[in-house]
Amino acid sequence: MDNLIRILRSFSEGEEDKAFTENFVDILKGKVMTDVQRMYERGLTFRDNKVVFPPPWESIYASLKEIGFFKRFIPVNFGGNRTNEENIYFIMELLGYTCPSLGIIFVAHSRAIDLILAGKDEAQKKKFISRLRDGDFGAIAMTEERAGSDATAIEFSATKEGDYYIFNGEKTFVSNAGLASIYTILVNTRGKKGGRSLSVFVVEDKAEGFRLGVLSEKDGFKILPTGKLIYKNCLVPKENLVGDEGRGLLLALDAIDKGRILLAGVACGLGYRIFDEVFKYSRKRIQFDHPLTTSQDISFKMSDMHTQINAARGLCFHALKQINSPCYRSASSQAKLFATQMVTSVAQLGLMIMGGRAYFKNNIISLLSADARGMEYLEGTSSMQKMIISRELFKSYT
């Protein structure tokens, strides 16, 4: 991890809070790194609309709260300690290195925060942002069985009656399902297909008419809560509407753009962890009286791995500099596309280098490779990223 921090500092031009970084790294080294494999092996259970983590989780959560970790995602004017986007990215790479599931949990959490902050109602922001600042988790729910990449096909209905909206529908593949206390949900408020029919609401997990549906176990991300949100005649106060009715898709897309860079950071951290594990193995593994690292074939593979990781990281830092520029959407999609394809490639090279050992269940490379395969499905598939990039590219030439 020390090498990763050194590399990240060489890419960053931002001012780092070194005291926070030291405390954060101590938690990652002392708690997360020592327990993550055990947590992966035990997995998650669900009970009473909430997720239940293996025992080390409570200690990790308490330590993160103690150092003010949740405040890092909250602007100063809401009682937080958010500085710049490079520092948030820095956090995501370190989480990706130690526990990719934990990284994705906080990507989803930060997207919910950004979505609420994009609204206009200051009382609404204070109400929910203060809870997210103090340790509650957030989530964003967009995907449905018939509305994945095509968000305009969302059928989840929200019908206004007096001071409430009546929610009926299901959201699926929701990261932080059962962990979040605050969900930001994209719903159809006009009863017809199209982006202008979509609105965003904040809904609490204790809302009457809500229940959690559990999805099948995943190959990777063993401690990332993923599930369905099911609403039946659920009453949501009208003041929980974020921004204007019918403008929800625009708000959601802006939050997702930022989330893609952070997700790419998790992928870069994961890629470097795979590289680290393979490098340590290759130095110790003796073949023909020499370590594997002396083999040209192995050393060339590892050179490719490291080069791909740094190339992806470079795209991420480029995208961070494009925030609020016309190139931002394209840059964030390029970073996400390249970084998630990179980590799949790096994982495959790692499996080849480690050979048969990597094929055994619960081998660290096997676990990390399963996580790597899942990265391309989050925040829009690779095909979706290519569609966004080409659309933005062609727009810039006309």
The proportion of the chain whose per-residue pLDDT surpasses 90, expressed as a percent, equals 75
DSSP string, 62-116: HHHHHTTGGGGGS-GGGT-----HHHHHHHHHHHHHH-HHHHHHHHHHHHHHHHH
Beta-sheet pairing, 164-175 with 226-237:
antiparallel
pLDDT in tens, 193-220: 888 999 999 999 999 999 999 888 899 9
Where do the CATH 1.20.140.10 domains begin and end in the chain?
A: 250-396
pLDDT per position as a tens digit, 75-110: 999 999 987 889 999 999 999 999 999 999 999 999
Who has greater pLDDT, 266 or 395? Answer: 266
β 50-52/290-291 pair status? unpaired
Q: What does pTM read for this prediction?
A: 0.95
Distance, CA of 197 to CA of 247 (rounded, Å): 8
What's domain 2-133's architecture?
Orthogonal Bundle (1.10)
Q: Which structure tokens are listed for 171?
A: 């959201």
CATH for 138-249 is 2.40.110.10
Mean per-residue pLDDT, 367-383: 93
CA distances (Å), 292 to each of 295, 349, 350, 351, in order?
A: 5, 14, 13, 14
Q: Is the pLDDT assigned to residue 348 strictly greater than 80?
A: yes
| pLDDT tens figures, 228-245 | 999 999 999 999 999 999
Q: What is the mean pLDDT of residues 59-81?
A: 95
pLDDT at 282 over 90: no
Cα gap 41→382, rounded to integer Å: 29
pLDDT of amino acid 307: 97
**pLDDT tens digit sequence for 98-153:** 999 999 999 999 999 999 999 999 999 999 999 999 999 999 999 999 888 888 89
Residues 145-173, mean pLDDT to the nearest whole number: 93
SS3 state at 380:
coil
Q: Mean of the per-residue pLDDT values for the chain?
A: 93
Which single residue is written with the structure tokens 């795979």? 274
Share of the chain above pLDDT 70, in %: 100
Instruction: Identify the H or E element spanning 328.
Output: helix 328-354
Residue 26 to residue 154: CA distance in whole angstroms: 43
In the block, tokens 């990763």 appear at 4
Does residue 165 or residue 357 have the better pLDDT? 165
Residues of the chain with CATH 1.10.540.10: 2-133
State the pairing for strand pair 138-141/182-188.
Answer: parallel
- pLDDT of residue 288 exceeding 90, the answer is no
Eight-class DSSP state of 218: P
* pLDDT category of residue 272 using cuts at 50, 70 and 90: very high
Q: What is the pLDDT of residue 143?
A: 94
How far is the C-alpha of 213 from the C-alpha of 267, rounded, in Å? Answer: 28
Specify the 3-state DSSP secondary structure of 1. Answer: coil
d(CA 20, CA 18): 5
Q: How many CA atoms lie within 13 A of 84 on its CB side?
A: 11
The pLDDT assigned to 360 comes to 83
Q: Regarding the domain delimited by 250-396, which CATH topology (the fold level of the hierarchy) does it fall under?
A: Butyryl-CoA Dehydrogenase, subunit A; domain 3 (1.20.140)
Categorize the per-residue pLDDT at 286 as very low, low, confident or very high, splitting at 50, 70 and 90.
Answer: confident
User: Shortest CA distance to 68 belongs to which of 3, 24, 25?
Assistant: 24
Q: Which pLDDT belongs to residue 37?
A: 83
State whether residue 398 is helix, strand or coil: coil
Which residues of the chain are in CATH 2.40.110.10 domains? 138-249
Residue 283's contacts (CB-CB under 8 Å, 6 or more residues apart) are: 291, 292, 293
